[in-house]
Amino acid sequence: MPFTWRDLLDILLVAVLFYSLGRLMAGTRALNLVRGVLVYLGVWFLASLLGLSTLSWLLGNAATLGAFALIVVFQPELRGLLERLGRAQGPRAPSLALEELLLGLSRLSERRYGALIALERRTPLGEYAATGEVLEARLSARLLETLFYPGTPLHDGGAILRGDRVFAAGCIFPLSEARLGLGTRHRAALGLSEVSDALVLVVSEETGAIRLAEGGRLSPPLALEALRERLKEVIRA
Ligand SMILES: Nc1ncnc2c1ncn2[C@@H]1O[C@H](COP(=O)(O)OP(=O)(O)OP(=O)(O)O)[C@@H](O)[C@H]1O
């Protein structure tokens, strides 16, 4: 059969598909899963090639069971992946009161108030807002300071910003399984960024350091200027 433009298009699309999947999975547990599956398939293939019938029968049957087990174990990653794929169709988040947010963060950091703030983008965070208190209040530095003042009922948990409003506070975010060497506030920031496209800011109560979790990655402590630049990029995008 001659090689036609359709074959070329086919190859290109498959290459783009694998490249996009690779980028979506980079830095997540799913990448290790893919490596594991490839090794498994390699051993299975070799066993069949060498005629090791018992081993290849065993691996063949275990594969069906394993596929279901993987779906259960990697449910958070799969969900995150599907959400990222579907994101392109969602409406864009409204604009953010950037300077108020930065002022609020700098005060929280100076005062060592632990804080967790998610910026909603295309993935709706309504289900997490429902775990806390819906506020729908205009974002201001003073409101952030008040919300995360230790001892107030809403300081525990995370706040969700929707555009220039504090949509909810006192919310429970999903915890990441990653070994960070940091506590649960940071794990919750990373966890939400794994299953959504939210930018999640975390201020450490211990050190006052501000970090940003995005796409399943947690930044090192950031200076306000670097944060301003990153947030501006997001607002422009
Ligand atoms: N799943 C969660 N969702 C939202 N917030 C959470 C969650 N788990 C813990 N937190 C918040 O994190 C606080 C505990 O923080 P912890 O000291 O364990 O975190 P940390 O990452 O070490 O941060 P810090 O540097 O501020 O101490 C809780 O009081 C709560 O406010």
Q: Which atom of ligand 1 is nearest to the CA of 173?
A: 3
Q: Which CATH number fits the domain 98-236, given the four candidates 3.30.590.20, 3.40.190.10, 3.40.1700.10, 3.40.640.10?
A: 3.40.1700.10
Mean pLDDT of the 150-155 span = 92
Read off the pTM.
0.69
pLDDT given for residue 142 in this prediction:
96
> Measured on CA atoms in the order 180, 184, 188, 191, is the torsion positive or negative?
positive
Considering the chain, what is the average pLDDT of its residues? 88
Mean pLDDT of the 148-168 span = 94
pLDDT given for residue 192 in this prediction:
96
Report CA(196)–ligand 1 centroid distance (Å). Answer: 19
Look at residue 1 and tell me whether its pLDDT is greater than 80. Answer: no
Q: Is the Cβ–Cβ distance between 128 and 92 less than 8 Å?
A: no
pLDDT given for residue 26 in this prediction:
62
pLDDT digits (tens, 9 = 90+) for 205-217: 999 999 999 999 9
Q: Taking Cα atoms as reference points, which of 192, 164, 162 lies closest to residue 178?
A: 192
- Could you give the dihedral angle defined by the CA atoms of residues 170, 139, 99 and 89, in that order, rounded to the nearest 10 degrees? 80
CA distance 207 to 131: 27
Structure tokens at 164: 């220039």
Q: Is the Cβ–Cβ distance between 116 and 157 less than 8 Å?
A: yes
pLDDT digits (tens, 9 = 90+) for 42-96: 999 999 999 999 998 999 888 888 888 888 877 777 776 776 666 555 544 546 6
Mean pLDDT of the 114-124 span = 94
ipTM for the assembly: 0.94
Look at residue 33 and tell me whether its pLDDT is greater than 80. Answer: no
pLDDT given for residue 155 in this prediction:
93
Banded pLDDT at 32 (limits 50, 70, 90): confident
Report CA(36)–ligand 1 centroid distance (Å). Answer: 32
Report CA(21)–ligand 1 centroid distance (Å). Answer: 31
**If you search the block for the tokens 């200027």, which residue do you land on?**
225
Residues 6 or more apart whose CB falls under 8 angstroms from that of 150 comprise 113, 114, 205
pLDDT digits (tens, 9 = 90+) for 163-179: 899 999 999 999 998 88
pLDDT given for residue 88 in this prediction:
53
pLDDT given for residue 134 in this prediction:
95
Banded pLDDT at 29 (limits 50, 70, 90): low
Residues 6 or more apart whose CB falls under 8 angstroms from that of 110 comprise 208
Pocket test for ligand 1, best of 175, 182, 185 (most atoms within 8 A of CB): 185
Mean pLDDT of the 153-169 span = 94
Q: Which residues line ligand 1 (CB under 6 A)?
A: 114, 116, 156-158, 172-173, 175, 182-186, 188, 204-206
Considering the chain, tell me which residue range(s) the CATH 3.40.1700.10 domain(s) occupy. Answer: 98-236
pLDDT given for residue 200 in this prediction:
97
